[in-house]
């Protein structure tokens, strides 16, 4: 029971059709309508500036959920969390720097207050010595 040549060609043709990608017909290609261009959830990739990203991430401190923020700005939640991961370290670092500066500021204020007290007491002693 050897297969004939026509049987082999038929089988080979079936295999070729399975592995060849089907061409995309023009009516199947997606087109952007005016409504889809104005949609906040557009498929085109848009670039946001670093300031815009920080402002968007800052909205979470106002009590908005990630879903609300994403819907408002037309970004996916995946993008929001990627931005948060990337810029979260920056804000944590900024918070640490701010805390260190506040601590240093408080320390300098204490030193200034002590020096003002010393100056006040020295002036009082000087006035007493001038009177006598």
Q: How far apart (Å, rounded) are the C-alpha atoms in residues 60 and 69? A: 8
Name the most confidently modeled range: 10-14, 68-72, 107-111, 124-128: 107-111
- Quote the pTM value: 0.38
CB 47 within 8 A of CB 80: no
What tens digit of pLDDT does each residue of 84-117 get? 888 876 667 788 889 999 999 999 999 999 999 9
pLDDT tier, 50 (very low <50, low <70, confident <90, very high otherwise): confident
CB 99 within 8 A of CB 89: no
Give the mean pLDDT of the chain.
79
Structure confidence at residue 86 (pLDDT): 87
| Structure-token match 């199947």, residue found | 28
Instruction: Indicate left, alpha or beta for 63 from its phi (over 0: left) and psi (-120 to 50: alpha).
Output: left
Enclosing H/E stretch for 63: none
């Amino acid at each position: 029971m050897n297969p004939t040549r026509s049987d082999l060609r038929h089988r080979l043709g079936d295999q070729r059709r399975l592995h060849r990608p089907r061409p995309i017909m023009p009516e199947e290609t997606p087109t952007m309508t005016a409504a889809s261009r104005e949609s906040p959830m557009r498929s085109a990739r848009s670039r946001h500036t670093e300031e815009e990203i920080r402002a968007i991430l800052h909205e979470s401190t106002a009590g908005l959920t990630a879903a609300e923020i994403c819907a408002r700005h037309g970004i996916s939640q995946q993008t929001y969390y990627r931005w948060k991961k990337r810029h979260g370290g920056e804000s944590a670092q900024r918070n640490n720097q701010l805390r260190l500066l506040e601590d240093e500021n408080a320390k300098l204020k204490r030193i200034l207050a002590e020096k003002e007290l010393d100056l006040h007491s020295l002036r009082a002693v000087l006035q007493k010595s001038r009177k006598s």
